[in-house]
Amino acid sequence: MTGIKLIGTGMYIPETVATNEDFTKIVDTSDEWITKRTGIKERHPSNGEPTWYMGVQAAKQAMEDAGVTPDEIDMVISTSVTGDYYTPSTANIMQGKLGIHKAFSIDINCACAGFVYGFDMAQRYIAMDDDVKTVLIISSENITKLVDYEDRSTCVLFGDGAGAAVVTAGPNRCYTYLECEAQDANKIYAQNVRPGNAFTTQEGREKYLDLFPQGREHYMHMDGRDVYKFATRAMPEGLHKACEKAGIKVEDLALIIPHQANYRIIETAAKNLGLSMDHFYLNIDRYGNISSACIPVCLNELKRAGRLKEGDKIALVGFGAGLVYGATVFTI
């Protein structure tokens, strides 16, 4: 299979800052409680920016960094779960705003593991379709619009933002392991508008009521204890299996970029892997959990800091609602 090469990255973070101290004014919590349990000190909630807008800003940076024009993009992948419209897709909207005219676009919903899935999808299209040479992956999330600010256990976790990457064919494959524990999909959810129309009867509404999640309106529900157990197991498993495909050991990785869900999750996973925290890149203290945007934002910061060295083997690992998880190993 044709390999993949990362040639450009970008990011957008809203200017609004919500510190732990700010949360003490709206829920019963404290800076100490949040920091100890999550590692988060501040996050950047949207101040009204649309999801597509944040993604476009990140994508412009990534394209400039890669040195490519809109006409050189053959495919746009959006990994957002917080789009602004039912239709058209977030990818369609961003493609139009970016002036990309010679490409096709697609949305994928893989929750916080979205960028890992998108990265793998990009390699497969590049390898199998002669018309796809350059792919733009955009992960933009307005996750705070799903947050219940009366639930102190979850509202402190999330921020908003976008990350983007441009990839093209390269000499080295990415090796990916993807998995879904769908039987536990109800552990994290945010429900949509329920079916209903001018002909829906009260009997019909009641008949199917039990088939829908019983959460509060559209707000996110998360079973924190079970999700913690899932994540601390899924991260090591995904990394081990991706490394097995690549023919290397986890300790051979120069760097691991995990989904930034919770410092304690990453710390526990590191112990299970027998690795020090030095192997992991973290920025959760500054941004919180921004869903699928976490990993590309990390990639952008690392690239701009000169920490992605040519020839290094790095891993991306994500996990989230679904319950989906996945890891990919590739060479810079």
The residues annotated with a catalytic role in the active site are 112, 259, 289
**Distance separating alpha carbons of residues 136 and 170, to the nearest angstrom:** 15
**Distance separating alpha carbons of residues 217 and 213, to the nearest angstrom:** 10
Q: What residue type is 79 in one-letter code?
A: T
Give whole-number Cα distances, 96 to 52, 91, 107, 264, in Å: 10, 9, 14, 40
Burial readout 234-247 (b: 16 or more C-beta within 10 A, e: otherwise): bbbbbbbbbbebbe
- Cβ proximity of 137 and 77 under 8 Å: yes
H or E element that contains 284: helix 284-287
**Distance separating alpha carbons of residues 39 and 199, to the nearest angstrom:** 50
- Cβ proximity of 59 and 46 under 8 Å: no
**Both tokens assigned to 311:** 């020839």
Give the SS3 label for residue 108.
coil
- Cβ proximity of 169 and 322 under 8 Å: no
- Cβ proximity of 289 and 264 under 8 Å: no
Question: For the chain, how many residues are written?
Answer: 332
Distance of CA 168 to the CA centre of its chain: 20
Q: What residue type is 194 in one-letter code?
A: R
